[in-house]
Structure 1
Amino acid sequence: MKKFWPFARRRVTAETQSAGLPPVVEAAPSDMARFLTLEDEETTALEGARRRLTMIGIALGFAFTILGGRAIMLAVAGEAGPAEPVVAADGPRGDLVDRNGNVLATTLETWSLFADPTQVWDAAETAEALATVLPELDVERVTRDLSTRRRFVWIQRNLTPRQRQAVFSLGMPGLDFRTEPRRVYPRGRLASHVVGFSDRDLIGIAGAERAFDGALEAGDGRPVALSIDMGVQYHVDEVLRASMQEFRALAAVGVVMDVRTGEVLSMVSLPDYDANRPAEARPDDRLNRATQAVYEMGSTFKAFTVALGLETGIARPGETFDASNPLRIGGHTIHDFHAQNRELTLSEIFTHSSNIGSSLIALEAGPEAQRDLLQRLRLLEAAPIELAETAAPILPRQWGPTETATISYGHGLAVSPLSVAAAFAAIANGGVYVQPTLQPVRPGETVAGEQVLDPEVAQHVLDLMREVVEDGTGRRAEVPGYRVAGKTGTAEKPDRGGYSRNRLISSFSAIFPYDDPQYVVLVMLDEPHGNASTYGYATAGYTAAPAAGDIIERIAPILGVERIDDPLERAALVRAALSPDPDLPAPRIQH
């Protein structure tokens, strides 16, 4: 307070001054006291700020020390974060369901096992212990991973609850779990080529999972419905498996399609795979032979050749073509293997499956007209369906007279089975082509199509297909009450220097019911072998046609097709089953 003394010293009374006595100091006035109080508070605040700054400096120094030590540890020990990035989806991936709401693919939360190798006491001991509860575990790989100085390694993904509990019960240090979404396919192999599969990040890789990936990832959790009917799919699959086994075929294909809407109700490709374990399947098993493979389909193409003849006016009902002798063209000789050796009408060319008669029609129409018709039927392009797994046809390098003749009966042009099914659907649909689709069509919804054949031409071809089942090579496809129409096709597979007589593609394209065409059924067997029941023949009339009939009998009630019993049809069916079939080994070109 000394520095304030002069102020106090000036404040003395008059009496003191007159007496010559030392001045008496008075108390500081009230405003001075307030001034002194403010100065004390300011000093206290400054001291507090200094203390806080000191504490902050100490904290920052400590933090930087920790970060520096952590950086050194990461440089020495390796990555501390997860080995694989985990991307959080905006919402759950939607389910895939069939047209009736049956779940084909869904997403479940599962547990995945990982380890921090720096916390594992003994890598070999830990790996061996885990193998006791996870039998499929690669002990050598896990031992090697646990011996590193990394901070994170995956041990096994997507454990079942029982496996997780078993691992947890081991009580091994350094192990932990993380929840992960996993795509699950309840139907396993059934419709695996249609459904497809996704990767660990739930991104569609094949099938509908890939085709409709955007809709499934929309994040609203709503299911995406397919046109497939799993009841129909089951029966087609079962019949084809039995046929493959009976005739020791390499592969088989089955397609069921609604001719008016283009909806694919069933698509079977055998052999197949378990969609839950696609990595374990062979590449050939993952091949969708209905869309991703192409074949020379043989005499099924005669239906398109007859349509060509009718459309161009070259072939008229009752008009005949001379099939009494083999046809020589371009250094090749074309034979009829169940030759009639006479002039044949258009109907006889079709029902007796005459290569010579078919070639004569196509040659007279010319390659341009033939190519134009096949293009309108979408047979010169990949099948127009949502799946990415579609193959373009194999076309001839040049389209001259020889190619025109051979293509007329299904040789020299390889197409996918689905493309053929869609072309037959156009015949059944009054000449209107509707693109095949895996998306269901709502009741009453109008589906746009393209008129590719004159309705009268389409009806005439359909009539001839009915004759094939009644009196020709397709008699074993008949199903009483459903009046099936169809066409057999037996093609030799290409080989070095020509075609192999012992390696056949046998197929049958069916339409039912004939009186009110609603569905197409296509069956194809790759390299079937004859047996005692087929008199040793592996041709379509003995192998593919009966399978198609069996499928129709099974699925027609599911599809709501009314059955009309006809005793005469049943009697004719019994006679056909007990008598040898005129269908003989496949036609071929002789050089």
Structure 2
Amino acid sequence: MTDFRSILRRVFGRSTDPHASETSRYARFGRRRKRCGDEPKGNVRFAVAIGIFIAVYGLIAGRLVEWGALPTMTETYFRGDEHLVAARPQILDRNGMVLATDITTFSLFAEPRRIVDPDEASELLLSVLPDLDPKWLYKRLSGHGGFVWLKRELTPGQKQQILDLGIPGIGFRTEKSRFYPGRSTAAYIVGHTNIDNQGTAGMEKWIDDQGYRALQNSGLATEADLKPVRLAMDLRVQHVVRDEVSQGLKRYRAKAAGGIVLNVNSGEIVAMTSVPDYDPNIPAEALDKNRLNRMSAGLYEMGSTFKIFTTAMALDSGKIKITDTFDATAPLRIGGFTIHDFHNEHRFLSVPEIFIYSSNIGSAREAEKIGLDEHRAFLTKLGLLSRLKTELPEVAMPTQPKEWKEINNITIAFGHGVSTTPLNTAVAAAAVINGGKLIEPTFLPRTQAEADAIATQVISQKTSDLMRYIFRLNATDPRGSGKNAAVPGYLVGGKTGTANKVVNGRYSNTKKFNAFVAAFPMDHPRYIVLTIIDEPQPEPGKYYATAGMNAAVMAGNIIRRSATFLGVHPQFSDDGKSLLVSY
């Protein structure tokens, strides 16, 4: 019985003894009241604990959501801020056609400390980007760094494929990348950018050098504030020039070819290219040593095109008149060298005949009469011996003998002994036929008033008028070397240049560098068209590969196809009334 009562007391909390004292009952009642009085305080403590628990875990959940939704805003992301790529201004041609613009691309990065399994991550990424080196990729992913680049400039398709892999620790950056819609068409003028969208060649580099690089580095180069850069180039003419020189390269099986179209009155370069060229969307192609901007960065002995300047020098000196004749009956011997003519007339030649027959002997005799010092001074005045000042970074410095001797005076008269760029030659030729004004070339639009303000008078108007007449005569005379450049209706004039190249210190009889300097329309000259072709071979069915057979043809084709774009309309009236010059 005693055990049963004890059990009841433990279960029900009260005594089962009927004789229990009232004092004991009251004591138990007091304890129950005390417990009931403590219940509100316990509820408060419980609520506070629950609240703290919810707040802590809510904060943790919020951070997890933030990190999951914005992986590029982690601390490790900002360690790549030096790679931020800013916007660049658009580059347009003179008519507003886009030559270069920014596009949005995606770049892949990794946070190695968050990579769970570098082996698996490498294999998955290589399934989408097989061009990555496996060893390099594994090393990048298994490191302890906070931020590493894996691949720049992904396509949207590649980005989506990598996202579908679901690899932890892999992220993307949205960047600006340069896109060139015309691809190779204007590569050597427009230039290109590097992986960080910074200009490294052509007008892209010029833009950076004008202060844009500083804006970019300071983070102030925002797309909304950037005005387009408009060039003097006409994309339509540029396409024609590139197409013709590309065809010439194949037709004459040459090493290289190129062309320039220059406004003789403003100095604006409307078109310029050389081939082989490259696609600026693939800048690595520009590293090929054969892909050189030969028109401004290539140095060549320009051959008989220099007879333009020898003739102009002779007439402008006052020592020689257009009616004077020079003995070209026999080769000229000087200092152990013998000067020959390609087509020897074996007679005295007038100044225009020396030009149109391209007589080395006659040009040499003209230079002899002028004198060595005056000859060198004249070429310097025309800018042929100096580095051109223009926006394009890729411009070479011409070379000349350290000490001019009489043999240099003779050979330079017909284009051997001085190396200059085709662009130098075009600019000097423009001064010869535009009224005698030397104007620095520009790849940016220039008004006539701006051109007049910087022009330098280098020969007289009278000499320029005589040179225009001789230019035109060389294209109309059946024996003229420029007849293959003639285009009906456009009053074309010009001069050929066929130079033997130096091979192992000696002039080669088989390797030639050819050029043709054309101008039109000769009654009111507006444009120079200069073409070059390096080491051409005879066209099938023909025996010669001289400039009249290839470079002149290319120049004529360019004029024929681009004249209307340039605003020059054909004229079929009496040829050259304003060109008549009395002997």
User: Within the alignment, does 1:557 sit opposite 2:564 as a pair?
Assistant: yes
Aligned equivalents of 2:265, 2:198: Cα separation in 1: 33
Corresponding position of 1:203: 198
**Secondary structure of residue in 2 paired with 1:522:** strand
Corresponding position of 2:501: 493
Corresponding position of 2:135: 140
Unmatched 5+ residue regions in structure 2? 1-74, 216-220, 577-583
Aligned equivalents of 1:551, 1:294: Cα separation in 2: 23
> 1:533-552 alignment to 2 at 5 Å?
533=541, 535-552=542-559
Cα gap change, 1:447/1:93 in structure 2, threshold over 3 Å: closer, same or farther?
farther
Which amino acid in the other structure matches residue 527 of structure 1? E
**Secondary structure of residue in 2 paired with 1:86:** helix
Residue 286 of structure 1: how far off its partner (Å): 4.4
Which amino acid in the other structure matches residue 390 of structure 1? V
Aligned equivalents of 2:284, 2:271: Cα separation in 1: 24
| 8 Å contact from structure 1 (residues 123, 147) kept in 2 | yes
Aligned equivalents of 1:139, 1:542: Cα separation in 2: 54
Residue 442 of structure 1: how far off its partner (Å): 4.3
User: Within the alignment, does 1:463 sit opposite 2:469 as a pair?
Assistant: yes
Cα gap change, 1:259/1:338 in structure 2, threshold over 3 Å: closer, same or farther?
same
Corresponding position of 2:364: 359
Aligned equivalents of 2:545, 2:230: Cα separation in 1: 38
Corresponding position of 1:452: 458
Question: Could you give the per-residue CA deviations for residues 503-524 of structure 1, whole angstroms, max 9, x where no partner exists?
Answer: 1111000000111100000000
Unmatched 5+ residue regions in structure 1? 1-78, 570-591
Cα gap change, 1:568/1:437 in structure 2, threshold over 3 Å: closer, same or farther?
closer
Cα gap change, 1:208/1:483 in structure 2, threshold over 3 Å: closer, same or farther?
same
Corresponding position of 1:440: 445
Residue 195 of structure 1: how far off its partner (Å): 0.7
Aligned equivalents of 1:530, 1:385: Cα separation in 2: 36
Corresponding position of 1:420: 425
Candidates 342, 349, 352, aligned match of 2:347: 342
Which amino acid in the other structure matches residue 491 of structure 1? A
The answer to which of 143-152 and 467-476 deviates more is 143-152
The answer to which of 208-217 and 109-118 deviates more is 208-217
| 8 Å contact from structure 2 (residues 433, 467) kept in 1 | no
Residue 151 of structure 1: how far off its partner (Å): 2.8
Aligned equivalents of 1:139, 1:567: Cα separation in 2: 74
Aligned equivalents of 1:531, 1:134: Cα separation in 2: 47
Corresponding position of 1:179: 174
| 8 Å contact from structure 1 (residues 383, 416) kept in 2 | no
Which amino acid in the other structure matches residue 555 of structure 2? A
**Secondary structure of residue in 1 paired with 2:184:** coil
User: Within the alignment, does 1:318 sit opposite 2:323 as a pair?
Assistant: yes
Residue 141 of structure 1: how far off its partner (Å): 2.0
Residue 199 of structure 1: how far off its partner (Å): 2.5
Residue 287 of structure 1: how far off its partner (Å): 2.2
Question: Could you give the per-residue CA deviations for residues 21-76 of structure 1, whole angstroms, max 9, x where no partner exists?
Answer: xxxxxxxxxxxxxxxxxxxxxxxxxxxxxxxxxxxxxxxxxxxxxxxxxxxxxxxx
Residue 540 of structure 1: how far off its partner (Å): 0.3
Corresponding position of 2:231: 226
Residue 171 of structure 1: how far off its partner (Å): 1.7
Corresponding position of 1:371: 376
Aligned equivalents of 2:352, 2:413: Cα separation in 1: 16
Residue 288 of structure 1: how far off its partner (Å): 1.4
Aligned equivalents of 2:267, 2:189: Cα separation in 1: 16
Cα gap change, 1:315/1:216 in structure 2, threshold over 3 Å: closer, same or farther?
same
Aligned equivalents of 1:262, 1:116: Cα separation in 2: 54
Aligned equivalents of 1:443, 1:567: Cα separation in 2: 29
Corresponding position of 2:514: 506
Question: Could you give the per-residue CA deviations for residues 69-101 of structure 1, whole angstroms, max 9, x where no partner exists?
Answer: xxxxxxxxxx95667543667x74211111111
Aligned equivalents of 2:297, 2:505: Cα separation in 1: 25
Aligned equivalents of 1:131, 1:475: Cα separation in 2: 61
Residue 102 of structure 1: how far off its partner (Å): 1.2
Which amino acid in the other structure matches residue 434 of structure 1? I
Aligned equivalents of 1:439, 1:413: Cα separation in 2: 29
User: Within the alignment, does 1:161 sit opposite 2:161 as a pair?
Assistant: no
Residue 252 of structure 1: how far off its partner (Å): 1.2
Corresponding position of 2:534: 526
| 8 Å contact from structure 1 (residues 264, 436) kept in 2 | yes
Corresponding position of 2:66: none
Aligned equivalents of 1:93, 1:204: Cα separation in 2: 9
Aligned equivalents of 1:127, 1:315: Cα separation in 2: 79
Aligned equivalents of 2:181, 2:157: Cα separation in 1: 19
Residue 278 of structure 1: how far off its partner (Å): 1.1
| 8 Å contact from structure 1 (residues 326, 356) kept in 2 | yes
Aligned equivalents of 2:338, 2:290: Cα separation in 1: 38
Aligned equivalents of 1:519, 1:405: Cα separation in 2: 30
Residue 355 of structure 1: how far off its partner (Å): 0.3
Corresponding position of 1:294: 299
Aligned equivalents of 1:398, 1:265: Cα separation in 2: 37
Cα gap change, 1:443/1:315 in structure 2, threshold over 3 Å: closer, same or farther?
closer
User: Within the alignment, does 1:245 sit opposite 2:241 as a pair?
Assistant: no
| 8 Å contact from structure 1 (residues 428, 518) kept in 2 | no
**Secondary structure of residue in 2 paired with 1:275:** coil
Corresponding position of 1:111: 106
Aligned equivalents of 2:399, 2:451: Cα separation in 1: 33
| 8 Å contact from structure 1 (residues 231, 558) kept in 2 | yes
Aligned equivalents of 1:132, 1:513: Cα separation in 2: 61
Q: Number of aligned pairs? A: 489
The answer to which of 488-497 and 280-289 deviates more is 280-289
> 1:49-68 alignment to 2 at 5 Å?
none
Aligned equivalents of 1:459, 1:568: Cα separation in 2: 16
Aligned equivalents of 1:135, 1:477: Cα separation in 2: 52
| 8 Å contact from structure 2 (residues 80, 147) kept in 1 | no
Question: Could you give the per-residue CA deviations for residues 485-504 of structure 1, whole angstroms, max 9, x where no partner exists?
Answer: 00000001112232111111
Residue 122 of structure 1: how far off its partner (Å): 3.5
**Secondary structure of residue in 1 paired with 2:172:** strand
Identity of aligned residues (%): 43
Corresponding position of 1:307: 312
Which amino acid in the other structure matches residue 133 of structure 2? D
| 8 Å contact from structure 2 (residues 267, 451) kept in 1 | no
The answer to which of 117-126 and 231-240 deviates more is 117-126
| 8 Å contact from structure 1 (residues 95, 216) kept in 2 | no
Give me the TM-score of the superposition, normalised by structure 1. 0.79
Which amino acid in the other structure matches residue 505 of structure 2? G
**Secondary structure of residue in 2 paired with 1:281:** helix
Residue 388 of structure 1: how far off its partner (Å): 1.5
Aligned equivalents of 1:191, 1:145: Cα separation in 2: 38
Residue 163 of structure 1: how far off its partner (Å): 1.6
Cα gap change, 1:447/1:143 in structure 2, threshold over 3 Å: closer, same or farther?
farther
The answer to which of 197-206 and 351-360 deviates more is 197-206
Cα gap change, 1:282/1:201 in structure 2, threshold over 3 Å: closer, same or farther?
closer
Cα gap change, 1:112/1:178 in structure 2, threshold over 3 Å: closer, same or farther?
same
The answer to which of 423-432 and 201-210 deviates more is 201-210
Candidates 82, 86, 90, aligned match of 2:82: 86
**Secondary structure of residue in 2 paired with 1:179:** strand
Aligned equivalents of 2:493, 2:130: Cα separation in 1: 54
**Secondary structure of residue in 2 paired with 1:284:** coil
Aligned equivalents of 2:495, 2:170: Cα separation in 1: 63
Residue 206 of structure 1: how far off its partner (Å): 1.1
